[in-house]
Structure formats: structure tokens, C-alpha cells
Amino acid sequence: MTTVNSAEFWDGEAGAFDQQPDHGLDDPSVRAAWSGLLLPLLPALPARIADIGCGTASVSLLLAEAGHRVFGLDISPAMVARAREKFATSGYSADILVGDAAAPPWTPGSFEVVITRHVLWAMPDPDAALIRWLDLLAPGGILILVEGLWWTGAGISAAQVSELVLRHRVAAEVTMLDDASFWGGPIRDERFITVSRR
């Protein structure tokens, strides 16, 4: 059975994935919106950043262009192939691996930032995945989760994400992302970023 957390599902999505403005970040205004949102949240250069569930690595590339050391992970070999192609033609570098977001292969405490974008909602056990992601952070590390509860009924709410994060951290700052500039057009659902610094 194909599920949203399976390699088979995301392999099937890889070919057209970057056609959505917030996936490919090809539209300069959408790219600028994400750059303006994410880059001020990050530590001084060059931070080690894990981009878990990186897809075709548009966010990874944005972070690498800013001077950070990026390590990407995605369950889909087709997504990872496209991510590697994107970096190969960009002049920047990142270590992009095929792997399960629920069990990243990296050493605990090895990153200053863990970022995911529309990944937590797809995890079979979101709390267990979150524990593993937090384990990757060095002391003082920053967790950044971009999520949404879409009009289709899929996804996860800001309240649910906050509750999950606050089981393990003392802070979870939520900002709603309802500005069309992030998505290439108006939205009709709940989209947000949750940042936890401690």
C-alpha cells in the first residue's frame, strides 16, 4: 500500500514537484519571501543545518547560497536525484542522502539547526520523529517546523505542533504564514512556522 510517507508515493511526485511555486522557489518573489523568513532565524555562518524531508532541496539550496553547511535527507530516491542535480548546476554543495525522516542517519548533537517543511504531518508517529530530530541538535540548537492544515483535511494544526514541541522543549513560537507571497497566490488553509530555540 502506498502512503504519503513512502518512497513510492514521493517518487511519483518528483517530476512535477518544483512546478508549485513554494516547492521550486523559482519565482523571485516567492524565493525572497522564504529567504526573508528563514535566514534571520539562523545562527551565525556557517551553521550546520539538517533539512529533513528535503524533497528537491529548494530550501537546502537557499540555505547553502547564504553560506550554511547543509545536509539533506529524503525518503524518495527520485527527489534526491533531482536535489543532487539542482546542486550540481548551482555551484554550491550539500550532502543529500536517501533515508527515512523518522530515523535520520546522523550523529546526535551534530547540528545547530534542524528544519523540516511539510514533513511532520506525514510521519506515522510524529512524536517519535520529533524526539529523533531534537536529538540531532547541539546544545542551544534551533528547531524549525513549517507545517499546515490544508483545506483538504490533510496536515497538522499549529496547536497540535505546539503541543508536540512543548512536550520536549520549553518554547514553541508560532507564526502564521497566510501571506500569498510564500505560496505564489492566495491560500484558504492554515499554514505556519514553529520555531523552538530551547
Residue pLDDT, tens place only, 140-163: 999 999 999 999 989 999 999 999
- Considering the domain boundaries, does residue 166 fall inside one? yes
**Is residue 1 situated within a structural domain?**
no
Instruction: Quote the percentage of the chain above a pLDDT of 90.
Output: 88
64 in any annotated domain: yes
Check which CATH number belongs to the domain holding 89 and give it: 3.40.50.150
Name the strands in the sheet holding 111-117, side by side, starting at the edge strand that comes first in the sequence.
95-98, 69-74, 48-52, 111-117, 137-149, 190-196, 173-176
Domain count, the chain: 1
Exposure on the CB side of residue 72, measured as CA atoms within 13 A: 30
Range of the domain at 30: 7-196
In a domain, 37, yes or no: yes
Q: What is the pLDDT of residues 116-138, one digit of tens each?
A: 999 999 999 999 999 999 999 99
- Give tens-digit pLDDT for 1-24: 345 768 988 888 888 888 889 999
Express each pLDDT in 73-97 by its tens digit. 999 999 999 999 999 999 999 999 9
User: Are 98 and 80 spatial neighbours (Cβ–Cβ below 8 Å)?
Assistant: yes
Q: What is the pLDDT of residue 98?
A: 97
2 falls within a domain: no
Per-chain mean pLDDT for the chain? 94
> Dihedrals φ, ψ of 147, to 5°?
-140, 180
Contacts of 36 (CB under 8 A, 6+ apart): none
Residue 50 lies in a domain: yes
Whether residue 82 is contained in a domain is answered as: yes
52 lies in some domain: yes
C-alpha distances out from residue 171 to 28, 62, 181, Å: 32, 26, 27
